[in-house]
């Protein structure tokens, strides 16, 4: 749908569209930023507003954002830009962007700076979220993602078949791409209430932990609506070759930025009323395993690091043994 066609379509819509706050963190993303924002503007069946936190870019990203803010603002999509005072990294940048959201919205969505969204991405998520139980404290939707090269040529699809939705599994690894996530006001409130940059946990990872701990509604879509560019600067190792994958997996064991024990205590303190007995025991063992041999022994029970990925399970066991989990 081109810009003129969407304007005509919006003029004909009777009734309010679901309002979506799209949250984006940018850092030196000038090359593909316009294409991504254009795909957000062209979303069908929703009204999107973009909130961007720029992490001290040096390549003209801010100038592009200012230009696009004026351009798309005139066409009906507001773009709010906040510039950081110092470089803080992408997890904190996303939390800052989320906390900057002002106004009333039905749902919230994460967006990377260099992807391309299919026109029905947000509409598909909203349709799924609209069918959820109204009594759920939080609702979180995510789906597979399609990896492409810089020219949008297909590489592979990151499927979610067999995904274990337990709290223990989500602590091992966040298999879900945050850029596919759409969530409700309850989740947004919890993410902001817990604060930002908790022990290396990304914006998407924390959302998974909250949803599992609070017994929220977790919805897994079957279809990918995102073309996710794999760049040399991409944070994860997917699609970069065998040696990069080995380095990534080894780093997962000894990553100094991720510290799960304090996060376990945070979840215990905040969600004890919704945790099962097994989950509470797991979190207590995780919170104290570095100081207590008994807690470490209990944590090494395979049920406490069960995922559908054998390599991830082995990494978790090694990380626990070396007190780096």
Domain endpoint, select from 229, 251, 274? 229
133 plus 269 within the same structural domain: no
Question: Is residue 148 a part of any domain in this protein?
Answer: yes
**Is the CB of residue 108 less than 8 Å from the CB of residue 20?**
yes
- Pick the more confident residue, 4 or 302: 302
Q: Which of 18-22, 254-258, 319-323 bottoms out in mean pLDDT, i.e. has the lowest? A: 254-258
* Confidence grade of residue 189 (pLDDT, cut at 50, 70, 90): very high
Domain endpoint, select from 165, 196, 229? 229
79 plus 152 within the same structural domain: yes
Question: Is residue 117 a part of any domain in this protein?
Answer: yes
Question: Is residue 78 a part of any domain in this protein?
Answer: yes
106 plus 255 within the same structural domain: no
Question: Is residue 235 a part of any domain in this protein?
Answer: no
What is the percent of the chain with per-residue pLDDT over 70, rounded to a whole number? 86
**Exposure of 109 in the CB half-sphere (CA atoms within 13 A):** 31
Model pLDDT, residue 305: 87
96 plus 212 within the same structural domain: yes
φ, ψ dihedrals at 37, nearest 5° = -65, -35
Question: Is residue 183 a part of any domain in this protein?
Answer: yes
132 plus 185 within the same structural domain: yes
9 plus 127 within the same structural domain: yes
Model pLDDT, residue 231: 81
Please tell me the total count of domains within the chain: 2
Question: Is residue 237 a part of any domain in this protein?
Answer: no
266 plus 134 within the same structural domain: no
- Pick the more confident residue, 239 or 250: 250
- Pick the more confident residue, 135 or 88: 88
Domain that holds residue 300: 242-321
Model pLDDT, residue 237: 47
The C-alpha angle with vertex 36 and arms to 219 and 131, in degrees rounded to 5, equals: 20
Encode pLDDT of 117-139 as tens digits. Answer: 999 999 999 999 998 667 889 99
Domain endpoint, select from 206, 229, 252? 229
Write the CB contacts of 20 (distance below 8 Å, at least 6 apart in sequence).
43, 46, 47, 48, 49, 105, 106, 107, 108, 109, 122, 126, 182
215 plus 249 within the same structural domain: no
- pLDDT value at 44 more than 70: yes
Encode pLDDT of 13-34 as tens digits. Answer: 446 999 999 999 999 999 999 9
Is this model's pTM higher than 0.85 or not?
yes
219 plus 250 within the same structural domain: no
Write the CB contacts of 309 (distance below 8 Å, at least 6 apart in sequence).
173, 175
224 plus 272 within the same structural domain: no
Encode pLDDT of 268-318 as tens digits. Answer: 999 999 999 999 999 999 999 999 999 999 999 999 988 988 888 998 999
* Confidence grade of residue 2 (pLDDT, cut at 50, 70, 90): very low
308 plus 276 within the same structural domain: yes
Q: What is the mean pLDDT of residues 100-116?
A: 98
């Amino acid at each position: 749908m081109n810009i003129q066609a969407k304007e005509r379509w919006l003029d004909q819509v009777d009734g309010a569209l679901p309002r979506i706050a799209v949250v984006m963190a940018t850092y030196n993303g000038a090359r593909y930023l316009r294409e991504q924002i254009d795909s957000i503007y062209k979303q069908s069946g929703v009204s999107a507003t973009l909130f961007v936190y720029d992490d001290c870019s040096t390549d003209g990203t801010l100038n592009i954002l200012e230009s696009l803010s004026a351009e798309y603002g005139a066409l009906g999509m507001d773009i709010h830009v906040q510039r950081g005072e110092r470089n803080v990294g992408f997890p904190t940048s996303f939390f800052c962007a989320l906390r900057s959201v002002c106004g009333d919205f039905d749902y919230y969505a994460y967006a990377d700076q260099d992807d391309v969204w299919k026109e029905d991405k947000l509409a598909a998520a909203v349709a799924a979220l609209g069918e959820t139980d109204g009594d759920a404290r939080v609702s979180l939707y995510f789906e597979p993602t399609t990896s492409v090269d810089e020219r949008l040529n297909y590489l592979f699809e990151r499927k979610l078949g067999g995904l274990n939705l337990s709290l223990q599994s989500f602590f091992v690894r966040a298999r879900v791409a945050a850029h596919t996530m759409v969530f409700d006001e309850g989740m947004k409130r919890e993410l902001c209430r817990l604060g930002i940059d908790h022990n290396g946990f990304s914006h998407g990872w924390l959302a998974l932990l909250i949803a599992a701990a609070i017994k929220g509604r977790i919805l897994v879509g079957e279809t990918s609506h995102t073309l996710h560019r794999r760049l040399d600067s991409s944070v994860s190792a997917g699609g970069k070759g065998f040696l990069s994958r080995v380095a990534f997996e080894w780093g997962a064991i000894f990553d100094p930025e991720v510290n799960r024990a304090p996060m376990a205590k945070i979840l215990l303190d905040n969600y004890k009323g919704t945790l099962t007995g097994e989950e509470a025991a797991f979190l207590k063992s995780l919170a104290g395993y570095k100081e207590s041999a008994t807690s470490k022994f209990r944590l090494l029970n395979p049920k406490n690091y069960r995922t559908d990925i054998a390599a991830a399970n082995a990494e978790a066991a090694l990380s626990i043994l070396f007190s780096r989990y």
